[in-house]
Amino acid sequence: MSDERPAIEVDGLVKRFGDVEAVRGIGFSVRPGEVFGFLGPNGAGKSTTINMLCTLLRPSAGRARVAGHDVVAERDDVRRNIGLVFQDPTLDGYLTGEQNLRFHAELYGVPRALTADRMRQVLEMVGLWDRRGDRVETYSGGMKRRLEIARGLLHSPRVLFLDEPTVGLDPQTRASIWEYIRHLKDAEQITIFLTTHYMDEAEYCDRIAIMDSGRIVALDTPGALKEGVGKDRVQIRTADDTAAIAALRERFDLEATLAEGVVTFAVPSGEAFVPRLFAELGVPIVSVSVSRPSLDDVFMKFTGSTIRDAEGSATDWMRMAMRGRR
């Protein structure tokens, strides 16, 4: 098969659970070798999407092809070509790392003659070769996640799905998991589809789709999405904040906000603006900082709320829904 064909192709995909439309007609396509991320708050529909692509859930409408196969009509072909790391851990703690992998290899029909070499390869890749003989219950959270990634790779899938691969891990461990994921892309020439609700993690992806309430509201490279916000954030400390805010409005036609002694406003190119600011503000400036837009700003632009607020409302909504069910 030519490498030019998309690794994942999705068109008009919908999933309903009773009255709840968890995924509301999404479409996108992922290139072979890409690290593609779904970013969105809890309840956005990320896991539901992954589960449809992995053939664990049947779509209510629309189509999806993974590694060239239809997720409904060619379910077994899809399954043979994918690896999956679930949101919740599924390792057997009483078994060693090696035993966990061997069990999986048998499940997937990896030829016996190849198993030993392949196990060593994936265990070395995630830095667990030396710990292979230890029971998994003695592993740290990060080691368990790495073992799950190794397991997902064991049968040499063309597409690896990772649902919230770093959820619940400390920042340092999250960073190291990401190193392995990025490394995988080169070592295995694999396509990686993952979900996250951590803004900073979306930066590691080649492209991201921002998902909110079952819809894709934006899709591009992290850089292009941030450029699309169009403005830098300038923050200044001044000798007289009230006068500074008034001067920004009158002389520069800029609306600024004040919080904790910092005056904040947005301009198209912050660094070029700073010299003018010093020359023309007319209020002594104590310090200044310019920052590029972040993915938080992107999320805000497309959804009108921060990802944290969106999570709050989704959680509240779920609580209400649960109460209603009882």
Closest CA to 173 of 151, 150, 153, 144: 144
Tokens of 129: 């070769």
Pattern of binders to ligand ADP over 97-116, x per CB under 6 A? --------------------
Beta partners for residue 9, in sequence order: 29, 65
Residue 112 near residue 119, CB atoms below 8 Å: no
Q: Decide: is 10 part of the binding site for ligand ADP (CB under 6 A).
A: no
Pattern of binders to Mg ion over 26-65, x per CB under 5 A? --------------------xx------------------
4 φ, ψ to 5°? Answer: -75, -20
Beta strands 61-66; 35-39: pairing state: unpaired
Residues 44-63, interacting with ligand ADP (CB under 6 A): 44-48
By Cβ distance, which residue is nearest to Mg ion?
A: 47
> What DSSP string runs through 13-68?
EEEEETTEEEEEEEEEEE-TT-EEEEE--TTSSHHHHHHHHTTSS--SEEEEEETT
Q: Which stretch binds ligand ADP (CB under 6 A): 41-49, 63-71, 148-156, 289-297?
A: 41-49
CB of 47 to Mg ion, least distance (A): 3
Query: Considering CB distances under 5 to 8 angstroms, the limit depending on partner class, which of ligand ADP, Mg ion, none binds residue 44?
Result: ligand ADP
Q: How far apart are CA 101 and CA 97, in angstroms?
A: 6
Q: How many residues bind ligand ADP (CB under 6 A)?
A: 12
For residue 255, with 0-12 CB atoms within 10 Å meaning exposed, 13-18 middle and 19 or more buried, which class applies? Answer: exposed
Query: Considering CB distances under 5 to 8 angstroms, the limit depending on partner class, which of ligand ADP, Mg ion, none binds residue 301?
Result: none
Pick 22 or 236: Cβ nearer ligand ADP:
22
Q: How far apart are CA 87 and CA 46, in angstroms?
A: 11
CB of 246 to ligand ADP, least distance (A): 44
Q: Decide: is 40 part of the binding site for ligand ADP (CB under 6 A).
A: yes
Q: How far apart are CA 235 and CA 254, in angstroms?
A: 13
CB count within 10 Å of CB 77 equals: 16
Q: Decide: is 37 part of the binding site for ligand ADP (CB under 6 A).
A: no
CB of 301 to Mg ion, least distance (A): 23
CB of 48 to Mg ion, least distance (A): 8
Residue 274 near residue 288, CB atoms below 8 Å: yes
Pattern of binders to ligand ADP over 262-301, x per CB under 6 A? ----------------------------------------
CB of 130 to Mg ion, least distance (A): 32
* Site residues, Mg ion (CB under 5 A): 46-47
* Site residues, ligand ADP (CB under 6 A): 17, 20, 22, 40, 42-48, 318
